[in-house]
Structure 1
């Protein structure tokens, strides 16, 4: 009996020392943002539904029929300035006049950034540079459907350990701005 108890105690001690205890695993999520699991679950649900990881990381708004591509871009540029951000690029990727209905006919990227916020994020982690500058993709299909697409910044903000308060505040402003840009751009609202 002593040998069995000693063996069980040794296994329990090894298990606890390895970091594999439920206590250790449970505290891993306590150090993360409260919304972390929900944000990742939403992304995984989208991947499960559509099979497209890129779609799972983006948000989009359909451009109104009465708004031209140029009007959508001009609205984006005007709002960008109002929100203390800068347009850092506007690139027409391509136009294919004879595109099939389900084929991309026109693609354009508008890049925007708040340089002060960018510096704060880069000082926190250089890997945030992979999100910079924020981009909006205007995509038009051969059938006339048009969309404004941007990255869902939820995981960049809530996908790990809590950001410092001032950084979180700045990040939420950028997230709100990007969502406003595609919503108002699609409606042609300045």
Structure 2
């Protein structure tokens, strides 16, 4: 009888090890997974867009897609504030990440949304790569590149939020 109980001990230990992870994932709000920056009061949304594009260019990040979602909504007679999605990418780093693990395709390219909240306040919003990178188990060379991508996306957002040219 005692030997049967000992057989279940490793499974019980695994359960105890993963139980806190499951509880913390359930307790996590979507706001815990994003990085948000309000635009400075003297920065227009158009200025923010120009600043993001210029900063991305200076960092060798290419603007690979732009979705002016608010225009699509207008065409459907749906009222909304301004909503635009910008997608930036360093193709070389993206390819290296995909070669390492195709699951990174779900995170490519890096997106920054420009959005007006219900009060008309403009925000820049993106996935918080700082929370994703630690769990990616990357080798040192890819970890360095992932951190560079994180830093560049944050730099692009900061430039946009502050209207830096």
When normalised by structure 2's length, the TM-score is: 0.82
> Deviations for 1:14-64, whole angstroms, at most 9, x for unmatched residues?
225xx4263x67888xxxxxxxx7xx95x76652xxxxx2x2211110011
The structure 2 residue matched to 1:108, chosen from 71, 84, 100, is 84
Change (3 A) 1:58 1:124: same
1:83 Cα shift?
Answer: 1.4
Q: Hey, what does 1:78 align to over in structure 2?
A: 54
Structure 1 CA distance for aligned equivalents of residues 44 and 59 of structure 2: 23
Aligned to 1:15: 8
Measure, in 2, the Cα distance between the counterparts of 1:104 and 1:146: 13
Q: Any stretches of 5+ residues in structure 1 without a counterpart? A: 1-6, 29-36, 48-52, 98-102
Aligned length: 157
Q: How does 1:46-85 map to 2 (within 5 A)?
A: 47=29, 53=30, 55-85=31-61
8 Å contact from structure 1 (residues 44, 56) kept in 2: no
Return the offset for 1:182.
Answer: 1.3
Q: How many angstroms does 1:82 deviate by?
A: 1.5
Q: Which consecutive unaligned segments of at least 5 residues does structure 2 have?
A: none
Larger radius of gyration: 1
Post-superposition shift, 1:78?
A: 1.0
2:114 is equivalent to residue 128 of structure 1 = no
Report which of the two has the higher share of helix. Answer: 2
Normalising by the residue count of structure 1, what TM-score does the alignment of the two structures yield? 0.72
Shift of 1:71: 0.9
Could you say if the C-alpha distance between residues 93 and 175 of structure 1 is closer, same or farther in structure 2, counting changes exceeding 3 Å? same
CA RMSD of aligned residues (A): 2.6
